[in-house]
Amino acid sequence: MMPIWTKSGERHAVTLLKVQDCHVLRYLSKEESGGKTAKLLVGGKNVSPFSKPESAHQIFKEAGVPRKQKVTTFNVTDDAIIKPGTPLYAAHFRPGQFVDVTAKTIGKGFQGVMKRWGFKGQPASHGQTKTHRRPGAISTNKASKVYRGKKMPGKMGNIYRTSFGLKVWRINTIHDIIYVNGSVPGHTNCLVKVRDSKLPTCKEYNKNPPFPTFFADGDEKLPEDLFDEEIFQFTDPSVTY
Amino acid sequence: CRASGDEKPAKFQPPPKPVIIDKQKQRAERRFLSPEFIPPRGRTDPLKYYMERKDMIQRRRVFNIPEFYVGSVLAVTTADPYANNKSNRFVGICIQRGGKGLGATFVLRNVIEDQGVEVCYELYSPRIQAIEVLKLEKRLDDNLMYLRDALPEYSTFDVNMKPVSHLDHEEIPVNKLQVRMKPKPWSKRWERPKYNIKGIKFELPEIKMKEAQKWSQPWLEFDMLREYDTSKIEEKIWKEVNEGLKK
Protein backbone atom coordinates (compact mmCIF):
# COMPACT_ATOMS: atom_id res chain seq x y z
CA MET A 1 0.00 0.00 0.00
CA MET A 2 1.23 3.47 -0.84
CA PRO A 3 0.14 7.06 -0.17
CA ILE A 4 -1.26 9.21 -2.97
CA TRP A 5 -2.04 12.94 -2.87
CA THR A 6 -4.77 14.87 -4.75
CA LYS A 7 -4.30 18.33 -6.26
CA SER A 8 -6.05 19.87 -3.23
CA GLY A 9 -3.50 18.27 -0.88
CA GLU A 10 -5.63 15.44 0.56
CA ARG A 11 -3.89 12.16 1.21
CA HIS A 12 -5.36 8.77 0.26
CA ALA A 13 -3.95 5.27 0.67
CA VAL A 14 -3.70 3.10 -2.43
CA THR A 15 -3.14 -0.64 -3.06
CA LEU A 16 -1.02 -1.78 -6.01
CA LEU A 17 -2.43 -4.71 -8.01
CA LYS A 18 -0.34 -6.33 -10.74
CA VAL A 19 -1.98 -7.96 -13.78
CA GLN A 20 0.33 -10.93 -14.29
CA ASP A 21 -0.08 -13.09 -17.47
CA CYS A 22 -3.89 -13.02 -17.64
CA HIS A 23 -5.37 -14.86 -20.59
CA VAL A 24 -8.94 -15.71 -21.64
CA LEU A 25 -9.21 -19.52 -21.57
CA ARG A 26 -12.67 -20.52 -22.72
CA TYR A 27 -16.02 -19.13 -23.79
CA LEU A 28 -19.20 -20.69 -22.39
CA SER A 29 -22.48 -19.61 -23.99
CA LYS A 30 -25.58 -18.93 -21.87
CA GLU A 31 -27.06 -22.42 -22.44
CA GLU A 32 -23.77 -24.25 -21.86
CA SER A 33 -22.97 -22.50 -18.59
CA GLY A 34 -26.57 -22.65 -17.32
CA GLY A 35 -26.64 -19.07 -16.05
CA LYS A 36 -28.31 -15.84 -17.08
CA THR A 37 -25.40 -14.59 -19.19
CA ALA A 38 -22.51 -15.99 -21.15
CA LYS A 39 -19.34 -16.76 -19.19
CA LEU A 40 -15.66 -16.31 -19.94
CA LEU A 41 -13.05 -18.42 -18.11
CA VAL A 42 -9.96 -16.34 -17.37
CA GLY A 43 -6.66 -17.62 -15.94
CA GLY A 44 -3.94 -15.63 -14.19
CA LYS A 45 -0.29 -16.04 -13.17
CA ASN A 46 1.79 -18.68 -14.97
CA VAL A 47 2.88 -21.66 -12.94
CA SER A 48 4.86 -24.85 -13.66
CA PRO A 49 2.89 -27.53 -15.56
CA PHE A 50 4.65 -30.42 -13.80
CA SER A 51 2.67 -30.44 -10.55
CA LYS A 52 -0.66 -31.43 -12.12
CA PRO A 53 -1.69 -34.44 -14.32
CA GLU A 54 -2.02 -34.11 -18.10
CA SER A 55 -5.83 -34.18 -17.90
CA ALA A 56 -5.80 -30.88 -16.02
CA HIS A 57 -3.91 -29.20 -18.88
CA GLN A 58 -6.78 -29.62 -21.38
CA ILE A 59 -8.17 -26.07 -21.11
CA PHE A 60 -4.72 -24.48 -21.30
CA LYS A 61 -3.68 -26.49 -24.37
CA GLU A 62 -6.88 -25.50 -26.24
CA ALA A 63 -6.19 -21.83 -25.55
CA GLY A 64 -2.45 -22.21 -26.28
CA VAL A 65 -1.36 -20.82 -22.97
CA PRO A 66 0.93 -22.09 -20.14
CA ARG A 67 -0.71 -23.50 -17.02
CA LYS A 68 -2.26 -20.86 -14.77
CA GLN A 69 -2.44 -20.86 -11.00
CA LYS A 70 -6.07 -19.68 -10.80
CA VAL A 71 -9.03 -19.93 -13.18
CA THR A 72 -12.11 -17.72 -12.55
CA THR A 73 -15.36 -17.04 -14.39
CA PHE A 74 -16.65 -13.65 -15.42
CA ASN A 75 -20.28 -13.10 -16.43
CA VAL A 76 -20.24 -11.25 -19.76
CA THR A 77 -22.88 -9.84 -22.08
CA ASP A 78 -22.96 -11.23 -25.63
CA ASP A 79 -21.33 -8.15 -27.19
CA ALA A 80 -18.31 -8.38 -24.88
CA ILE A 81 -17.15 -11.89 -25.85
CA ILE A 82 -13.40 -12.25 -26.36
CA LYS A 83 -11.63 -15.00 -28.28
CA PRO A 84 -9.91 -17.59 -26.03
CA GLY A 85 -6.17 -17.04 -25.90
CA THR A 86 -6.19 -13.21 -25.90
CA PRO A 87 -4.06 -11.66 -23.18
CA LEU A 88 -5.68 -9.19 -20.80
CA TYR A 89 -3.78 -6.10 -19.63
CA ALA A 90 -4.08 -3.50 -16.88
CA ALA A 91 -5.17 -0.96 -19.49
CA HIS A 92 -8.54 -2.77 -19.55
CA PHE A 93 -9.36 -0.41 -16.67
CA ARG A 94 -8.98 3.36 -16.83
CA PRO A 95 -8.35 5.92 -14.04
CA GLY A 96 -11.61 7.27 -12.65
CA GLN A 97 -13.45 3.94 -12.93
CA PHE A 98 -14.81 2.11 -9.91
CA VAL A 99 -13.94 -1.48 -9.25
CA ASP A 100 -14.89 -4.41 -6.96
CA VAL A 101 -12.00 -6.54 -5.70
CA THR A 102 -12.54 -10.11 -4.48
CA ALA A 103 -9.93 -12.28 -2.75
CA LYS A 104 -9.52 -14.91 -0.04
CA THR A 105 -9.04 -13.19 3.33
CA ILE A 106 -6.03 -13.93 5.53
CA GLY A 107 -6.60 -17.23 7.35
CA LYS A 108 -6.54 -16.90 11.13
CA GLY A 109 -7.19 -20.56 11.98
CA PHE A 110 -9.50 -21.68 14.75
CA GLN A 111 -10.46 -18.56 16.66
CA GLY A 112 -12.61 -17.85 19.67
CA VAL A 113 -15.83 -15.91 19.71
CA MET A 114 -14.30 -12.57 20.77
CA LYS A 115 -11.94 -12.32 17.79
CA ARG A 116 -14.22 -14.02 15.28
CA TRP A 117 -17.52 -12.25 16.02
CA GLY A 118 -16.49 -9.33 18.24
CA PHE A 119 -18.24 -10.49 21.41
CA LYS A 120 -17.47 -8.50 24.57
CA GLY A 121 -16.52 -11.49 26.77
CA GLN A 122 -16.59 -11.15 30.57
CA PRO A 123 -14.76 -8.89 33.07
CA ALA A 124 -11.20 -9.79 34.05
CA SER A 125 -11.83 -9.65 37.79
CA HIS A 126 -14.66 -9.24 40.32
CA GLY A 127 -15.15 -12.94 40.98
CA GLN A 128 -15.31 -14.37 37.41
CA THR A 129 -14.43 -18.07 37.68
CA LYS A 130 -12.57 -19.28 34.59
CA THR A 131 -14.81 -17.17 32.30
CA HIS A 132 -13.17 -14.27 30.48
CA ARG A 133 -13.50 -14.88 26.73
CA ARG A 134 -16.50 -17.24 26.55
CA PRO A 135 -19.72 -16.61 24.57
CA GLY A 136 -22.00 -16.76 27.62
CA ALA A 137 -25.62 -17.73 26.88
CA ILE A 138 -26.28 -19.27 23.44
CA SER A 139 -30.09 -19.28 23.33
CA THR A 140 -33.24 -18.49 25.33
CA ASN A 141 -35.35 -20.83 27.49
CA LYS A 142 -38.47 -20.62 25.31
CA ALA A 143 -36.66 -21.57 22.11
CA SER A 144 -35.35 -24.80 23.73
CA LYS A 145 -32.94 -25.19 20.84
CA VAL A 146 -29.93 -23.40 19.40
CA TYR A 147 -30.71 -21.59 16.14
CA ARG A 148 -28.86 -22.48 12.97
CA GLY A 149 -26.07 -20.05 12.24
CA LYS A 150 -25.44 -19.22 15.92
CA LYS A 151 -22.16 -17.31 16.21
CA MET A 152 -19.68 -19.69 17.83
CA PRO A 153 -15.91 -20.30 17.74
CA GLY A 154 -14.56 -21.83 14.54
CA LYS A 155 -12.15 -21.41 11.61
CA MET A 156 -11.82 -17.73 10.75
CA GLY A 157 -10.60 -16.24 7.49
CA ASN A 158 -9.50 -17.92 4.25
CA ILE A 159 -12.90 -17.19 2.65
CA TYR A 160 -13.72 -15.06 -0.37
CA ARG A 161 -14.70 -11.49 0.45
CA THR A 162 -15.22 -8.43 -1.78
CA SER A 163 -14.42 -4.75 -1.31
CA PHE A 164 -16.94 -2.72 -3.32
CA GLY A 165 -16.64 0.65 -5.04
CA LEU A 166 -12.87 1.16 -5.07
CA LYS A 167 -11.66 3.99 -7.27
CA VAL A 168 -8.89 3.38 -9.78
CA TRP A 169 -6.36 6.24 -9.39
CA ARG A 170 -3.59 5.28 -11.77
CA ILE A 171 -2.61 2.64 -14.34
CA ASN A 172 0.96 1.72 -15.31
CA THR A 173 0.92 0.17 -18.80
CA ILE A 174 4.54 -1.07 -18.87
CA HIS A 175 4.44 -3.12 -15.66
CA ASP A 176 0.62 -3.64 -15.82
CA ILE A 177 -0.14 -2.22 -12.36
CA ILE A 178 -3.51 -0.87 -11.20
CA TYR A 179 -3.51 1.61 -8.28
CA VAL A 180 -6.77 1.00 -6.42
CA ASN A 181 -8.09 3.20 -3.58
CA GLY A 182 -8.18 1.84 -0.03
CA SER A 183 -7.42 -1.69 1.14
CA VAL A 184 -8.14 -5.00 -0.51
CA PRO A 185 -8.85 -8.40 1.15
CA GLY A 186 -6.02 -10.96 1.19
CA HIS A 187 -2.36 -11.11 2.19
CA THR A 188 0.53 -9.50 0.21
CA ASN A 189 1.11 -11.13 -3.19
CA CYS A 190 -2.16 -13.07 -3.12
CA LEU A 191 -4.35 -13.61 -6.20
CA VAL A 192 -7.20 -11.18 -6.57
CA LYS A 193 -10.23 -10.84 -8.90
CA VAL A 194 -11.00 -7.33 -10.18
CA ARG A 195 -14.39 -6.54 -11.75
CA ASP A 196 -16.30 -3.41 -12.75
CA SER A 197 -18.31 -2.16 -9.80
CA LYS A 198 -21.94 -3.24 -9.43
CA LEU A 199 -22.86 -0.26 -7.18
CA PRO A 200 -25.58 2.00 -8.68
CA THR A 201 -23.71 5.21 -7.70
CA CYS A 202 -20.67 4.14 -9.71
CA LYS A 203 -22.52 3.46 -12.97
CA GLU A 204 -21.86 6.88 -14.47
CA TYR A 205 -18.11 6.70 -13.79
CA ASN A 206 -17.81 3.34 -15.53
CA LYS A 207 -19.01 4.57 -18.92
CA ASN A 208 -16.73 4.46 -21.98
CA PRO A 209 -14.35 1.73 -20.93
CA PRO A 210 -12.10 0.06 -23.57
CA PHE A 211 -14.63 -2.39 -25.01
CA PRO A 212 -14.47 -5.45 -25.06
CA THR A 213 -10.92 -5.11 -23.70
CA PHE A 214 -7.62 -3.30 -24.38
CA PHE A 215 -5.69 -4.96 -27.21
CA ALA A 216 -1.92 -4.42 -27.08
CA ASP A 217 -1.41 -4.99 -30.81
CA GLY A 218 -4.17 -2.51 -31.73
CA ASP A 219 -3.75 1.05 -32.99
CA GLU A 220 -4.04 2.78 -29.63
CA LYS A 221 -0.62 3.70 -28.18
CA LEU A 222 -0.95 4.54 -24.49
CA PRO A 223 1.61 6.56 -22.45
CA GLU A 224 3.54 4.77 -19.70
CA ASP A 225 1.33 6.11 -16.86
CA LEU A 226 -2.35 7.00 -16.94
CA PHE A 227 -3.40 9.30 -14.09
CA ASP A 228 -6.78 10.35 -12.77
CA GLU A 229 -7.57 14.11 -13.16
CA GLU A 230 -7.45 14.81 -9.44
CA ILE A 231 -4.13 13.12 -8.71
CA PHE A 232 -1.13 15.27 -7.83
CA GLN A 233 1.58 14.18 -10.26
CA PHE A 234 5.14 14.49 -8.94
CA THR A 235 6.23 16.37 -12.06
CA ASP A 236 4.16 19.37 -10.90
CA PRO A 237 5.46 21.94 -8.34
CA SER A 238 4.17 21.90 -4.76
CA VAL A 239 0.53 22.57 -3.99
CA THR A 240 -0.42 26.19 -3.11
CA TYR A 241 -3.78 27.58 -1.94
CA CYS B 1 71.82 29.25 -26.64
CA ARG B 2 72.25 26.93 -29.62
CA ALA B 3 75.63 27.12 -31.39
CA SER B 4 75.68 27.81 -35.23
CA GLY B 5 72.17 28.50 -36.42
CA ASP B 6 72.00 25.84 -39.24
CA GLU B 7 69.06 24.02 -37.59
CA LYS B 8 65.65 25.43 -38.15
CA PRO B 9 64.27 27.08 -35.00
CA ALA B 10 62.33 24.34 -33.12
CA LYS B 11 58.60 24.70 -32.92
CA PHE B 12 57.51 26.51 -29.83
CA GLN B 13 56.64 23.95 -27.14
CA PRO B 14 54.34 25.40 -24.52
CA PRO B 15 55.36 24.58 -20.94
CA PRO B 16 53.54 21.52 -19.44
CA LYS B 17 50.28 22.34 -17.69
CA PRO B 18 50.60 22.43 -13.90
CA VAL B 19 48.83 19.46 -12.25
CA ILE B 20 46.55 20.73 -9.46
CA ILE B 21 45.96 18.09 -6.80
CA ASP B 22 42.64 19.03 -5.23
CA LYS B 23 43.00 17.79 -1.66
CA GLN B 24 39.30 18.30 -1.05
CA LYS B 25 38.30 15.79 -3.71
CA GLN B 26 40.92 13.33 -2.56
CA ARG B 27 39.07 12.86 0.71
CA ALA B 28 36.46 10.09 0.32
CA GLU B 29 33.28 11.57 -1.09
CA ARG B 30 30.59 11.46 1.55
CA ARG B 31 27.68 9.35 0.39
CA PHE B 32 24.33 10.00 1.98
CA LEU B 33 21.40 7.79 1.04
CA SER B 34 18.21 8.95 2.74
CA PRO B 35 17.03 6.11 5.06
CA GLU B 36 13.55 5.90 3.52
CA PHE B 37 15.01 4.50 0.27
CA ILE B 38 16.17 1.31 1.94
CA PRO B 39 13.34 -1.26 1.69
CA PRO B 40 12.40 -3.09 4.92
CA ARG B 41 12.78 -6.86 5.25
CA GLY B 42 9.69 -8.69 4.14
CA ARG B 43 7.99 -10.76 1.48
CA THR B 44 6.76 -7.87 -0.66
CA ASP B 45 7.53 -7.90 -4.37
CA PRO B 46 10.61 -5.69 -5.07
CA LEU B 47 8.63 -4.25 -8.00
CA LYS B 48 6.50 -2.34 -5.49
CA TYR B 49 9.59 -0.66 -3.97
CA TYR B 50 10.90 0.08 -7.47
CA MET B 51 7.66 1.88 -8.41
CA GLU B 52 7.77 3.87 -5.15
CA ARG B 53 11.42 4.81 -5.72
CA LYS B 54 10.59 6.11 -9.21
CA ASP B 55 7.97 8.42 -7.69
CA MET B 56 10.36 9.53 -4.93
CA ILE B 57 13.13 10.33 -7.44
CA GLN B 58 10.62 12.23 -9.57
CA ARG B 59 9.60 14.33 -6.58
CA ARG B 60 13.23 14.99 -5.64
CA ARG B 61 13.95 16.24 -9.14
CA VAL B 62 11.29 18.91 -8.81
CA PHE B 63 11.66 19.72 -5.11
CA ASN B 64 14.94 19.69 -3.20
CA ILE B 65 14.92 17.53 -0.06
CA PRO B 66 18.22 18.32 1.69
CA GLU B 67 20.36 15.91 3.63
CA PHE B 68 19.61 15.99 7.35
CA TYR B 69 19.88 13.76 10.38
CA VAL B 70 18.11 13.30 13.68
CA GLY B 71 19.36 16.20 15.80
CA SER B 72 19.61 18.83 13.04
CA VAL B 73 17.51 21.98 13.21
CA LEU B 74 15.14 22.42 10.24
CA ALA B 75 12.66 25.05 9.06
CA VAL B 76 9.69 23.77 7.05
CA THR B 77 7.18 25.94 5.12
CA THR B 78 3.90 24.20 4.26
CA ALA B 79 0.85 25.40 2.34
CA ASP B 80 -1.98 26.07 4.80
CA PRO B 81 -5.42 27.08 3.46
CA TYR B 82 -6.42 28.63 6.80
CA ALA B 83 -3.32 30.76 7.51
CA ASN B 84 -2.83 34.45 6.64
CA ASN B 85 -0.36 34.16 3.79
CA LYS B 86 -1.62 30.66 2.94
CA SER B 87 1.73 29.32 4.21
CA ASN B 88 2.99 28.19 7.59
CA ARG B 89 6.65 28.09 8.74
CA PHE B 90 7.82 25.89 11.62
CA VAL B 91 11.35 25.65 13.02
CA GLY B 92 12.41 22.73 15.19
CA ILE B 93 14.91 19.99 15.95
CA CYS B 94 14.35 16.69 14.19
CA ILE B 95 13.74 14.06 16.87
CA GLN B 96 12.68 11.11 14.75
CA ARG B 97 12.73 9.94 11.13
CA GLY B 98 10.28 7.14 10.40
CA GLY B 99 8.50 5.34 7.61
CA LYS B 100 9.82 3.93 4.34
CA GLY B 101 9.07 4.90 0.78
CA LEU B 102 6.69 7.73 -0.08
CA GLY B 103 5.18 7.78 3.42
CA ALA B 104 8.47 8.73 5.11
CA THR B 105 7.98 11.22 7.95
CA PHE B 106 10.09 13.33 10.29
CA VAL B 107 9.06 14.92 13.59
CA LEU B 108 10.23 18.45 14.49
CA ARG B 109 10.14 19.64 18.10
CA ASN B 110 10.30 23.16 19.49
CA VAL B 111 9.15 25.00 22.61
CA ILE B 112 7.03 28.06 21.72
CA GLU B 113 5.94 30.35 24.56
CA ASP B 114 6.65 27.68 27.18
CA GLN B 115 4.58 25.08 25.33
CA GLY B 116 6.34 22.10 23.75
CA VAL B 117 5.14 21.55 20.18
CA GLU B 118 5.91 18.58 17.94
CA VAL B 119 4.87 18.46 14.28
CA CYS B 120 5.13 15.36 12.11
CA TYR B 121 5.75 16.15 8.41
CA GLU B 122 5.71 13.79 5.44
CA LEU B 123 8.87 14.23 3.32
CA TYR B 124 7.08 13.69 0.00
CA SER B 125 3.84 15.52 0.73
CA PRO B 126 3.03 18.08 -2.02
CA ARG B 127 1.92 20.61 0.61
CA ILE B 128 5.50 21.18 1.76
CA GLN B 129 6.88 24.19 -0.10
CA ALA B 130 10.41 24.42 1.35
CA ILE B 131 12.70 22.53 3.72
CA GLU B 132 15.78 24.45 4.97
CA VAL B 133 18.47 22.97 7.14
CA LEU B 134 19.43 25.66 9.65
CA LYS B 135 21.98 23.54 11.50
CA LEU B 136 23.27 20.23 10.14
CA GLU B 137 24.56 17.99 12.91
CA LYS B 138 24.13 14.55 14.39
CA ARG B 139 23.54 13.53 18.00
CA LEU B 140 24.56 10.49 19.98
CA ASP B 141 21.19 8.72 19.39
CA ASP B 142 18.91 7.95 16.46
CA ASN B 143 15.78 8.89 18.37
CA LEU B 144 15.52 12.00 20.52
CA MET B 145 12.09 11.29 22.02
CA TYR B 146 13.65 11.76 25.49
CA LEU B 147 13.70 15.50 24.86
CA ARG B 148 10.06 15.45 25.99
CA ASP B 149 11.24 14.59 29.51
CA ALA B 150 14.33 16.77 29.37
CA LEU B 151 14.50 20.37 30.62
CA PRO B 152 12.76 22.68 28.10
CA GLU B 153 15.96 24.62 27.40
CA TYR B 154 17.28 21.70 25.33
CA SER B 155 14.28 21.83 22.96
CA THR B 156 13.98 25.61 22.49
CA PHE B 157 15.26 27.01 19.22
CA ASP B 158 14.91 30.54 17.99
CA VAL B 159 12.24 30.76 15.28
CA ASN B 160 14.23 33.43 13.41
CA MET B 161 17.50 31.56 13.66
CA LYS B 162 20.08 32.19 10.90
CA PRO B 163 21.27 29.12 9.00
CA VAL B 164 24.68 27.94 10.19
CA SER B 165 26.94 27.42 7.17
CA HIS B 166 28.34 23.95 6.53
CA LEU B 167 30.96 23.11 3.92
CA ASP B 168 30.31 20.20 1.59
CA HIS B 169 33.47 18.21 2.19
CA GLU B 170 33.58 18.42 5.98
CA GLU B 171 32.24 15.56 8.01
CA ILE B 172 28.99 16.11 9.82
CA PRO B 173 29.69 17.26 13.41
CA VAL B 174 28.41 14.97 16.17
CA ASN B 175 27.05 16.95 19.09
CA LYS B 176 28.04 14.98 22.18
CA LEU B 177 25.67 16.91 24.38
CA GLN B 178 24.43 15.07 27.48
CA VAL B 179 20.97 16.31 28.32
CA ARG B 180 19.69 16.90 31.86
CA MET B 181 16.26 15.53 32.62
CA LYS B 182 13.27 16.71 34.58
CA PRO B 183 12.57 14.74 37.77
CA LYS B 184 10.92 11.34 37.31
CA PRO B 185 8.24 10.11 36.32
CA TRP B 186 9.15 10.20 32.63
CA SER B 187 6.98 9.15 29.66
CA LYS B 188 9.26 6.15 29.11
CA ARG B 189 11.88 4.54 31.36
CA TRP B 190 14.83 5.94 29.41
CA GLU B 191 17.42 4.41 31.74
CA ARG B 192 16.55 0.87 30.56
CA PRO B 193 19.05 -0.73 28.14
CA LYS B 194 16.44 -1.43 25.41
CA TYR B 195 16.42 2.26 24.47
CA ASN B 196 20.23 2.35 24.46
CA ILE B 197 20.37 6.10 25.02
CA LYS B 198 23.77 7.75 25.24
CA GLY B 199 22.70 11.38 25.23
CA ILE B 200 21.24 11.66 28.76
CA LYS B 201 23.19 12.61 31.87
CA PHE B 202 21.51 10.25 34.30
CA GLU B 203 21.48 11.73 37.81
CA LEU B 204 19.70 8.68 39.26
CA PRO B 205 21.22 6.77 42.20
CA GLU B 206 23.47 3.80 41.39
CA ILE B 207 20.92 1.31 42.74
CA LYS B 208 18.32 2.44 40.17
CA MET B 209 20.81 2.21 37.31
CA LYS B 210 21.79 -1.31 38.38
CA GLU B 211 18.15 -2.33 38.67
CA ALA B 212 17.50 -1.05 35.15
CA GLN B 213 20.24 -3.37 33.84
CA LYS B 214 18.02 -6.32 34.90
CA TRP B 215 16.05 -5.76 31.67
CA SER B 216 19.11 -5.97 29.47
CA GLN B 217 19.08 -8.63 26.73
CA PRO B 218 22.79 -9.24 25.99
CA TRP B 219 22.01 -12.11 23.59
CA LEU B 220 20.27 -9.75 21.13
CA GLU B 221 23.47 -8.52 19.48
CA PHE B 222 24.47 -12.10 18.64
CA ASP B 223 21.06 -13.05 17.17
CA MET B 224 21.80 -13.82 13.54
CA LEU B 225 18.19 -13.88 12.40
CA ARG B 226 17.86 -10.22 13.32
CA GLU B 227 20.77 -9.15 11.12
CA TYR B 228 19.83 -7.15 8.04
CA ASP B 229 22.84 -6.41 5.89
CA THR B 230 21.90 -3.47 3.70
CA SER B 231 25.33 -2.72 2.15
CA LYS B 232 24.67 -4.35 -1.24
CA ILE B 233 21.07 -3.09 -1.42
CA GLU B 234 22.32 0.41 -0.59
CA GLU B 235 24.92 0.29 -3.38
CA LYS B 236 22.31 -0.60 -5.98
CA ILE B 237 19.81 1.96 -4.76
CA TRP B 238 22.53 4.66 -4.56
CA LYS B 239 23.38 4.11 -8.24
CA GLU B 240 19.69 4.07 -9.21
CA VAL B 241 18.92 7.27 -7.30
CA ASN B 242 21.97 9.09 -8.68
CA GLU B 243 21.17 8.19 -12.26
CA GLY B 244 17.55 9.20 -11.74
CA LEU B 245 18.52 12.59 -10.30
CA LYS B 246 21.05 13.36 -13.05
CA LYS B 247 18.48 13.22 -15.86
- What does the DSSP 8-state code read for residue A1? -
Note the pTM of the prediction, 2 decimals.
0.88
Interchain pair A234, B125: CB under 8 A: no
Q: Is the dihedral of CA A181, A186, A190, A194 positive or negative?
A: negative
CA distance B81 to chain A (A): 6
Give the CA count within 13 Å in the CB-facing half-sphere of A183: 6
CA of A173 to nearest chain B CA: how many angstroms apart? Answer: 13
CATH number for B123: 2.30.30
Average pLDDT, integer, range A84-109: 94
Backbone torsion region of residue B23, taken as left when φ is above 0, otherwise alpha when ψ lies between -120 and 50, otherwise beta:
alpha
Q: Is residue B189 part of a domain?
A: yes
Q: Calculate how close chain B gets to A4, using CA atoms only, in Å.
A: 9
Amino acid at B170: E
At A138-180, the pLDDT tens digits run 999 999 999 999 999 999 999 999 999 999 999 999 999 999 9
> Mean pLDDT in chain B?
90
**Partner B contacted by A237 (CB < 8 A):** yes
Band (pLDDT 50/70/90 cuts) for residue B4 is: low
Taken as a whole, chain A contains a residue count of 241
Bridge partners for A100 per DSSP: A195
Q: What is the ipTM of this complex?
A: 0.91
Choose the closest CB to B129 out of A172, A188, A238: A238
Give the C-alpha separation, B237 to B159, whole Å. 36
Specify the 3-state DSSP secondary structure of A194: strand
In chain A, domain spans:
108-156
Q: What percent of chain B has pLDDT over 70?
A: 94
Of B42, B43, B52, the CB nearest to A2: B52
Contact (Cβ atoms closer than 8 angstroms) between residue A27 and residue A38 = yes
Has residue B24 got a pLDDT over 80?
no
B62 contacts in chain A (CB < 8 Å) = 234-237
Q: What is the pLDDT of chain A when averaged over all its residues? A: 93
Instruction: Look up the domain containing B198 and give its range.
Output: 68-216
* pLDDT tens string B101-141: 999 999 999 999 999 999 999 999 999 999 999 999 999 99
As for how many domains chain B has, the answer is 1
* Tens of pLDDT, residues B173-223: 999 999 999 998 999 999 999 999 999 999 999 999 999 999 999 999 999
